[in-house]
Copies of this chain bind each other. A is one copy, B any other.
Amino acid sequence: MTTPADTAAARRGRPGYDRRQVLDVAVALFNEQGYDATSVAALAERLGLSKSALYHHFASKEQLLAIALETALSRLEAALDEALAREASAADRLEHVIRGAVAALTAELPSVTLLLRLRGNSPVEVAALERRRHFDQRVTGLVRNAQAEGRIRTDIDAGVATRLIFGMVNSVVEWYRPDGPVDPALLAEDVLAVALDGLRPRGGRA
């Protein structure tokens, strides 16, 4: 969906590109080649723009990265905030955040992919990794509370459990394709089913 502001931005640059489109192409190229290995010249070439036309849209390669990471992180954090705002048990909140995280990944696949592949070679990346760590710590707290409620087994460390859950959730960026056969809502249910009940039959879900 384009807004009048986007259209004006497109008019200022070369026809056919607004800021959002330049950002999408940049994130796709970062995911393909790696952020560090992608030069502004390569990005301008992919877009068919001159470097100066590209700088008309964005101040720097790092600004493109920062905007994409903000998109990914704010979506994930919103899912967690929403879960924590619920009047519910820790176990129910945990379920809610897992569902929300899968939804965030499938809805913002390119920017979350970029986030998950960060190496931390610049201040923008270090700050994003710090926010990810904080997110993980908050989820670990939820797991710990759900253990205290007796709703999550206590023979697995809460930190390890969180990492294994997000191992499943985050793997989605490696193999989920928006045009593929897997429904994102059902995918979230499959992640929850394995995380909570495991793959061995237990007479639960038919």
Binds B, one of A16-24, A32-40, A53-61, A63-71: A32-40
Tell me the bound Cα distance from A198 to B151 in angstroms: 11
Tell me the bound Cα distance from A117 to B151 in angstroms: 35
The one of B165, B171, B190 that contacts A166, using a Cβ cutoff of 8 Å: B171
Shortest beta-carbon distance from A165 to chain B in Å? 8
Interface residues of A in 184-206 (CB under 8 A from B): 187, 190-191, 193-202, 205-206
Shortest beta-carbon distance from A102 to chain B in Å? 11
Binds B, one of A4-12, A82-90, A152-160: A152-160
Does A164 sit at the interface, judged by CB under 8 A? yes
Does A150 sit at the interface, judged by CB under 8 A? yes
Shortest beta-carbon distance from A148 to chain B in Å? 13
Interface residues of A in 125-164 (CB under 8 A from B): 150-153, 155-157, 160-161, 163-164
Please give the number of chain A residues whose Cβ is less than 8 angstroms from any Cβ of chain B in the complex. 47
The interface residues of chain B lying within 8 Å CB-to-CB of A119 are: 31-34
The interface residues of chain B lying within 8 Å CB-to-CB of A205 are: 153, 155
Q: Quick one: given A32-B119, A170-B167, are A195 and B199 in contact (CB under 8 Å)? A: yes
The interface residues of chain B lying within 8 Å CB-to-CB of A196 are: 198-200
The interface residues of chain B lying within 8 Å CB-to-CB of A150 are: 201
Contact check, B36 vs A200: say whether CB atoms are below 8 A apart: no
Tell me the bound Cα distance from A45 to B101 in angstroms: 41
Further 17 A-B residue pairs, CB within 8 A, beyond A37-B37, A194-B195? A32-B119, A33-B36, A36-B36, A36-B37, A152-B199, A152-B200, A153-B200, A153-B201, A156-B199, A160-B190, A163-B174, A163-B175, A164-B171, A164-B191, A165-B194, A167-B170, A196-B199
Question: Can you offer 8 A-B residue contacts whose CB atoms are under 8 A?
Answer: A33-B36, A34-B119, A152-B200, A163-B175, A170-B171, A193-B198, A194-B194, A194-B198
